């Protein structure tokens, strides 16, 4: 397999990628089975561990021929492995191949057709999930974000195409914190708040099926039997100035908790959300004005 350099949590394996006599491509014990759409500039493959007969995903960086650059890449990715949470994609191993490409192995979360993202799942579900499923997913994403904050790691704004959904419906944020780790960006209050607000946005989309724009509809108007405390929670969470400062604060105020009313009362009064009737009247007035001027 070539020269290896050991570490406490993983190995830098500088010659692990090779071709077998049958011309199939391998990386150590992993046989490259099927390419997936690249993500964050990385090649992405479904691989088979032939020792254990289990599927995994291989993320492969561009070649890094400078020793210092290889150490920097490995150190940045190794730092992310400190966060171990059920809703963050686990980094199982890190090593370099024959071509000086850092290769990251993670569990395979997809089905027989490939990896599934929350964006793809929502598209199949007419843009939203059931209220119980959406609220559970929202709580899981906030818990994952808080685990990153506790480890002094942050991801920044998260999109639905960065969230993987496994066969049992569990969500995991893909390569959490990688982009910021590569740029050596320090954790800041603004970036943490941006991350939380992006998760609140995803929660609104999952629950309501609409983007939370300036004329957003109060969720209780569209989701049957939804507690009106959710209107307040989303109004705070989507506010770019007076929103939740971190995921822990957002979690404490989730209306699924008994103390949610008290937690929400600690925030200043915000601009009221636009309700469905007023939103439709405003849009009809705008359309009528445009028609008269044309």
Enumerate residues 6+ apart whose C-beta is below 8 A from 291. Answer: none
Mean model confidence pLDDT for the chain: 85
Tell me the domain boundaries of the chain.
Answer: 4-107, 118-290
CB 189: neighbour CB atoms within 10 A?
9
Residue 245 has pLDDT above 60, yes or no: yes
Of residues 201 and 8, the one with the higher pLDDT is 201
Alpha-carbon gap, residue 181 to 209, rounded angstroms? 32
Of 129, 133, 163, the C-alpha closest to 145 is: 163
**Confidence (pLDDT) at 270:** 52
**Confidence (pLDDT) at 291:** 45
Can you say whether residue 126 is alpha, beta or left, with left for phi > 0 and alpha for psi between -120 and 50 degrees?
left
Residue 58 has pLDDT above 60, yes or no: yes
**Confidence (pLDDT) at 92:** 96
Residue 4 has pLDDT above 60, yes or no: no
Comparing 87-96, 186-195, 220-229, 237-246, which segment has the lowest mean pLDDT?
Answer: 186-195
Of 193, 206, 194, 87, the C-alpha closest to 135 is: 206
- What does the pLDDT average to over 266-277? 56
Predicted confidence band of residue 268 (pLDDT cuts 50, 70, 90): low
pTM of the model: 0.82
Please, are residues 206 and 134 in contact by the beta-carbon 8 Å criterion?
yes
**Confidence (pLDDT) at 160:** 97
Comparing 18-27, 52-61, 99-108, which segment has the lowest mean pLDDT?
Answer: 18-27
Of 68, 60, 67, 65, the C-alpha closest to 94 is: 60
Can you say whether residue 23 is alpha, beta or left, with left for phi > 0 and alpha for psi between -120 and 50 degrees?
left
- The pair of structure tokens assigned to 280 is 């439709």
Enumerate residues 6+ apart whose C-beta is below 8 A from 65. Answer: 100
Residue 221 has pLDDT above 60, yes or no: yes
Q: Count H helices and E strands in the chain, helices first.
A: 9, 11
Using a pLDDT cut of 90, give the percent of the chain over it: 71
Residue 16 has pLDDT above 70, yes or no: no
Residue-wise pLDDT for 156-212, tens only, equals: 999 999 999 999 999 999 999 998 888 877 778 999 999 999 999 999 999 999 999
Q: Write down the CATH superfamily of domain 118-290.
A: Transferase(Phosphotransferase) domain 1 (1.10.510.10)
C-alpha distances out from residue 293 to 282, 287, 288, 289, 290, Å: 17, 10, 9, 6, 5
Which CATH number is correct for 4-107, 3.40.190.10, 3.40.50.300, 3.30.200.20, 3.30.1330.40?
Answer: 3.30.200.20
**Confidence (pLDDT) at 186:** 78
**Confidence (pLDDT) at 7:** 35
Please, are residues 102 and 22 in contact by the beta-carbon 8 Å criterion?
no
Residue 214 has pLDDT above 60, yes or no: yes
**Confidence (pLDDT) at 232:** 96
């Amino acid at each position: 397999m070539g020269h290896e350099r050991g570490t406490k949590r993983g190995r830098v394996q500088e010659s692990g990628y090779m071709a077998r006599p049958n011309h199939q491509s391998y990386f150590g014990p992993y046989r490259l089975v099927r390419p997936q759409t690249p993500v964050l500039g990385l090649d992405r493959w479904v691989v088979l561990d032939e020792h254990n007969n289990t599927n995994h995903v291989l993320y492969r960086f561009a070649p890094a021929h400078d020793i210092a650059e290889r150490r920097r890449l490995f150190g940045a990715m190794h730092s992310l492995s400190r966060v171990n949470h059920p809703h963050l994609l686990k980094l199982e191993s890190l090593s370099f191949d024959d071509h000086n490409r850092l290769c990251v192995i993670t569990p395979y979360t997809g089905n027989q057709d490939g990896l599934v993202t929350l964006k793809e799942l929502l598209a199949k579900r007419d843009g939203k999930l059931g209220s119980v499923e959406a609220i559970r997913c929202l709580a899981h994403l906030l818990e994952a974000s808080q685990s990153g904050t506790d480890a002094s790691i942050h991801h920044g704004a998260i999109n639905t195409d960065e969230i993987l959904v496994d066969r049992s419906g569990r969500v995991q944020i893909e390569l959490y914190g990688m982009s910021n780790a590569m740029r050596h960006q320090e954790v800041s209050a603004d970036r943490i708040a941006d991350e939380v607000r992006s998760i609140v946005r995803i929660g609104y989309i999952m629950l309501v099926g609409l983007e939370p724009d300036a004329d957003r509809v109060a969720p209780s108007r569209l989701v049957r039997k939804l507690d009106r405390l959710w209107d307040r929670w989303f109004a705070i969470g989507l506010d770019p100035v007076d929103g939740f400062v971190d995921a822990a604060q957002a979690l404490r105020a989730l209306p699924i908790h008994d103390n949610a009313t008290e937690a929400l009362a600690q925030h200043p009064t915000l601009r009221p959300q636009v309700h469905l009737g007023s939103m439709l009247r405003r849009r009809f007035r705008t359309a009528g004005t445009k028609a008269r001027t044309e």
